[in-house]
Amino acid sequence: MAYLGALRFPRLMGAIRCRLLTIIYFDQGNDIVLEFNTQETRMIGSYELDKGGTMKALRRYPSNKKDTLLVKLSLMGKQNTVSLSGKLGKDSLQAVLSPVKQLH
């Protein structure tokens, strides 16, 4: 089962230049996009999700970085929200994902 969703964090006054994860996109074709503040700072990769809820994503773009995303996904409550906890490269990552409507 593919999970479509996006995660958005407030842009904190628009002045932060650090690597702040603001959006995550999942695609049915096992593609994932992680956006850090702007479209110019995106990581694009392919993910695999096992039956236990562990997701591993390998970066395809930009090709000069080899960070791997390794997280555990867990369903939360009745609203189809999913918690995500793990690592992107050496950085820890925790988030709550909520599904969004698919744009056609």
**76-88 pLDDT tens trace:** 887 778 888 999 8
What SS3 state is found at 12? helix
pLDDT of residue 51: 92
Q: Output the pTM of the full model.
A: 0.70
Element (H, E) at 85: strand 81-88
Pairing type for strands 21-26 and 31-36 reads antiparallel
